[in-house]
Structure 1
Amino acid sequence: MDPFLWGALSLLGDSRLLLPAAATLMLLGYLDGTSPYRRWSWGLGAVGAAVLTSKLAFLGLGIGLTTPQFTGFSGHAAFSAAVWPVLLASATPRRPRVGAVSGLILAALVAASRPPLHTHSWTEVITGWLLGALAAAWALRGAVPADFHRPYWATAALAVGGTCLVILWNVRPHTLLLLVTGHPPH
């Protein structure tokens, strides 16, 4: 497949896009008192903590596995699987399950883009995707279409996320992590 396509798919898993979009959607959900968004905030926090801990363990302490190759959960895979299903369920209030499944498929494509770009192993993207999918499933469990009665929230969330991606284009979250752990950026 074309490297440009892999890069474009990978961009859909960028934390500079997904985290502001998720924060916007969570804020709107909290203000409205909608329970899936409240559960989602806890699940997304757990995903973030697991991804960060696994990366710090490897980069800071050298803890990782050689077989299977695992140096940390893929953040792109984990956050894509945690965010896109909820975001697309919100965008399709009449059929939130279809939106959620579409989000999981999109997240799987984002995850699949990482090994060809030589950024993560298949073990790292599969485990990251599963971690994120669990958080999304937990957030969406028991949700009914009425929980997703404001599809414009998804538009607002994507607008905020897209704006942050553009504004923060030169900020590299991985570089910040390398600096925190005392590694020189490449």
Structure 2
Amino acid sequence: MYWNSLTYFGDSMLLLPTGIIIAFFMAWKVTGRFTPLVWLFTFGISGFLVCISKLLFLGWGIGSTRYNFTGFSGHTTMSATIWPVLLWLLSGGLHKRLRQVTIAVGFLLPVLIGYSRVILGAHSPSEVITGLIIGLSASSIFLITQRHQIVKAFTFSQLAIMLIVPILLVSRGKQATTQNMIEQFAEHITGHPAWTREKLLSQLG
């Protein structure tokens, strides 16, 4: 039960709207004029890479039998992109040391989410590790480029407004159908059934 609860914090049903909400609040709380656009670009690139890797495998079987790789873990990649940035934004009014700890939690959480994907059998270690590399690289580059921007503190009411949608989504626990959508798209453009992990691993024999 614990791992199922943890893994939801990397689900697209939660993270996609949260990524958009982050951009809106950046326009309000961050001094950088182009910070929201930089964020949306960073967020979009991570999602694009995940989708392309999954599409290449589902449509044409492009993966790795040796490393049991069928595409980057979306939960891991997107959580590693979003959580460090979200906690950077929310911790703007905190003392420097406490803010550093908060952001560090943002980097740790995706590692745990990725581990939960392996424990639950949803992804192989290679898919999680590469997802972490992409996501943490994306969030790190964003935070480095925006390190000189001033992030204004949140009041309790502002924090509640920002988090109400993510909290509602977590409470419902409804999962995204992103994987099924990519699978159906792959079948549509190739005209044959999508590749599966079982088919990939059967090549070992």
Q: TM-score range by the shorter chain?
A: 0.7 to 0.9
Partner of 1:176: 181
TM-score, normalised to structure 1, is: 0.85
Total equivalences in the alignment: 182
**2:42 matched residue in structure 1:** 43
Deviation at 1:122, TM superposition (A): 0.4
| Paired AA for residue 128 in structure 1 | G
Match of 2:202 in 1: none
CA contact (8 A) 1:85 1:136 kept: yes
Q: 1:122 to 1:156 in 2, by over 3 A?
A: farther
> Shift in Å at residue 129 of structure 1?
1.0
TM-score by length of 2: 0.78
**Partner residue of 2:5?**
8
Structure 2 spans left out of the alignment, 5+ residues = 188-192, 195-205
- The two structures, once aligned, show a CA RMSD in angstroms of 2.6
Q: Deviations over 1:114-143 (max 9, x none)?
A: 011111000100110110111111111154
Q: Which residue of the partner structure matches residue 18 of structure 2? A: 21
Name stretches of at least 5 consecutive residues in structure 1 with no aligned partner. none
- Bigger Cα Rg: 2
Equivalences for 1:97-136 in 2 at 5 Å? 97-136=100-139
Matched residue SS, 2:119: coil
Q: Look up the equivalent residue of 2:14 and give its one-letter code.
A: L
Identity %: 31
Q: Tell me, in whole angstroms, the C-alpha distance in 2 between the residues paired with 1:21 and 1:158.
A: 9
3-state SS of paired residue (2:10): coil
Alignment CA distance shift 1:142-1:48 (3 Å): closer
Following TM superposition, by how much is the alpha carbon of 1:170 offset from its aligned partner in structure 2, in angstroms?
A: 6.2
CA distance 1:39–1:146, shift in 2 (3 Å): closer
State the distance in 2 between where 1:145 and 1:154 align: 23
The one-letter amino acid of 1:181's match is A
Bigger mean CA deviation after superposition, 142-151 or 17-26: 142-151
Counterparts in 2 of 1:65 and 1:76: CA distance versus 1, 3 Å: same
